[in-house]
Amino acid sequence: MARSRRGFLKGAAAGAAVGAAAAVAPQPAARAQEAVPRNATAQPNTATLAADTGRRPATVASRIVENPGSDFMVDVLKTLDFEYLAANPGSTFEGLHESLINYGDNKMPEFLTCCHEESAVAMAHGYAKIEGKPMIAMMHGTIGMQHASMAIYNAYVDRVPIYMVAGNHADGAERSPGVASLHSAQDIGALVRDYVKWDDQPYSLGHFAESAVRAYDIAMTPPRAPVLIVANYELQAHPNPQRDLRIPKLSRTTPPQGDSGAVAEAARLLVSAARPLIITERTARTPNGTALMIELAETLQAPVSNQERMDFPNRHPLAGTGGTGYQADVVLNLEVNDVSNSARAARARGAKTISITSLNLSHKSNIQEFGHYPEVDLNIGADAEATLPALIEACKRLITADRRRALDERGAKLAEAHKQARARDIELAAVGWDASPVSLARLCAELWPLIKNEDWSLVSWQGFISQWPRRLWTFDKHYQYIGGQGAGGMGYGAPAAVGAALANKKHGRFSVSIQTDGDLNYAPGVLWTAAHHQIPLLTIMHNNRGYHQEVMFIEQQASIRNRGADRAHIGTKLWNPNIDYAKMAQAYGQYAEGPITDPKDLAPAFQRAIAQVKKGEPALIDVVTQPR
């Protein structure tokens, strides 16, 4: 239970600085008499100027608020066991902010200072992918919501739970003109409703309590996704008129499991298949999910293709697609967002496709993230991890001794194919070994021996670095890779890495991010957040000095139109002048070195940065790299 700080507040309020929460009508009965807005004499421009320069509008404070509604909101949030709350500060939640740091003692949740709402939400995104539960991201009215919107969309498509709280001046009669009006909306959830799973704007504290608990359950039930609770300004600021408001007990919904008949049919198809293939994207919600994936693959002796989050160990003999010539006759897709391409290819060769995903249970109309309609042979609307135990048991029941021998023979061939594929990858890593700029393979190969004996976690996406960690390193733990953005929105990488590193911190893990330059430039202030909150994270810059994917796209367009690619750098490159990321990180308070262009300089610089990270601090090494 939060300890009371009301005595402190009362004393402080007697001084010169009186907070806005103390300025509004303290009792419901007095609200109607508060006809004079807080800054009735201010013109909008003046109010805007006052807000920008830190001066507060004139107030009509007449009494101390002894029991603000936002204290009760903190009581509610504390029941949900949040470790952290990330936010860029804003006046629409100033009451709740004050309650969190004073009444709530800035613990459970602890306030994380962010320089952008997109950073706050993306930090929560990365945190949830490691910790398996949400943290709070708080947004300030219309502007905070719009700043955050891209990060929310990424998390929605990536099926990651984020618990969002937004401040809003809902009551037009109490709202002051100027900034408060500019930052308020009639239906603020509408700004992001297309890509949150659920939102609500409670109009009483009792309603807040119920919706806050409900929102947590909805966010965590597969398909997981961000949820939004609006904390109306007036509800935060006014005294809580009810001393004994009840906070509902969280009652978690169990994940949906596949229909037993459909699961039995899936098992029949898989066990009888000559060349089954398992494709997984987001199956392992928990560490047990990885263990179940291994059990399924070994039961079937089927290869597992896993290029998203760490669902399946990359050095397992069954990791891969089966090698050259392995034409799958049954493809099992587990939590794959869009199976239409693989299903089309399977149909063309007469193969069967099975899909198990909870995504089928939750669709919205506007955003088209669901892709093409999946023409699959068996479409199971369920959470894959929750369904795996039944599927594994069903498969085991069908496997006779003869079938087991055949499966094991297949497994031996798959293991050999895996071994050969790995040898090819390592051979390819030698290409351009001494090149400058540095090859991505060399960068990852130099880094691996320095971290492999740590309890490491890769908290960045591998798509822009040609998957070199997956090809060279050994991934065998659930938290060792968090996958990508979800919706492909840049600006996710740096803050998600910081959020994931924050989650790793209490477990004593060593977090490493191979950070693209274009992504970091969206909101680099998160480097300061990492330094300020002492979040240990090794950031290695993949500095190819541009939005490289777009360079290639413009080249392709120029080719199609029979024009040269000599202008493809316009609007796509980040050079002239080159950006000095070491200086950038140093300015934000991090240890940093670079730019490094000679691959021989990598290992010593990495070692120095690793030493800093082991002290509990973030560090950054800028490496000028080949494009991919």
Partner 1 sequence: MLKFFLLVLLAATVNAQGNAAHGKELFVKYSCYACHGFSGQNGPGARLVPMKIAQAGFIAYVRNPPRPNQMPSYSAKAVPDVEMADIYAYLKTLPDSAPSAKSIPLLNQILTAP
What is the three-state SS of 184-205? CCCCHHHHCHHHCCEEECCCCH
Q: Which residues of 589-623 are buried (b: 16+ CB within 10 A; e: fewer)?
A: ebbbbbbbeebebbeebbeebbebbeeebbbbbbb
Sheet holding 378-381, edge to edge: 304-306, 276-280, 330-334, 352-357, 378-381
**Token pair of 261 as six digits:** 């008949």
Min CB(569)–partner 1 separation in Å: 7
Amino acid at 12: A
Min CB(363)–partner 1 separation in Å: 31
Min CB(599)–partner 1 separation in Å: 10
Min CB(174)–partner 1 separation in Å: 56
Min CB(303)–partner 1 separation in Å: 21
Nearest residue (CB) to partner 1, 56 versus 569: 569
30 forms part of the interface with partner 1 (CB under 8 A) = no
Nearest residue (CB) to partner 1, 123 versus 445: 445
Amino acid at 376: V
Cβ-proximal residues to 552 (8 Å cutoff; 6+ apart), any chain: none
Residue 195 phi/psi, 5° resolution?
-140, 35
One character per residue 472-491, x = contact with partner 1 (rule: CB under 8 A): x-x-----------------
CA 463 to CA 628: how far, in whole Å? 9
Amino acid at 437: P
| Binding residue for partner 1, selected from 6, 56, 214, 569, defined by CB under 8 A | 569
What's the alpha-carbon Rg for the chain, to the nearest Å? Answer: 27
316 forms part of the interface with partner 1 (CB under 8 A) = no
Amino acid at 14: A
| Binding residue for partner 1, selected from 186, 254, 562, 576, defined by CB under 8 A | 562
**Binders of partner 1 among 516-555, rule CB under 8 A?**
548, 551-552, 555
DSSP E strands: which ranges in 35-143? 84-87, 110-113, 136-140
One character per residue 419-438, x = contact with partner 1 (rule: CB under 8 A): ----x--xx-xxxxxxx-x-
CA 230 to CA 247: how far, in whole Å? 17
60 forms part of the interface with partner 1 (CB under 8 A) = no
Min CB(440)–partner 1 separation in Å: 7
Cβ-proximal residues to 330 (8 Å cutoff; 6+ apart), any chain: 269, 270, 273, 275, 276, 277, 351, 352, 353, 354
- Count residues binding partner 1 (CB under 8 A): 39
Nearest residue (CB) to partner 1, 35 versus 560: 560
| Binding residue for partner 1, selected from 236, 305, 439, 462, defined by CB under 8 A | 439
559 forms part of the interface with partner 1 (CB under 8 A) = yes
264 forms part of the interface with partner 1 (CB under 8 A) = no
**Binders of partner 1 among 103-122, rule CB under 8 A?**
none
2 forms part of the interface with partner 1 (CB under 8 A) = no
Q: Which residues bind partner 1 (CB under 8 A)?
A: 423, 426-427, 429-435, 437, 439-441, 445-446, 448-449, 466, 472, 474, 548, 551-552, 555-556, 558-560, 562-566, 568-569, 626-628
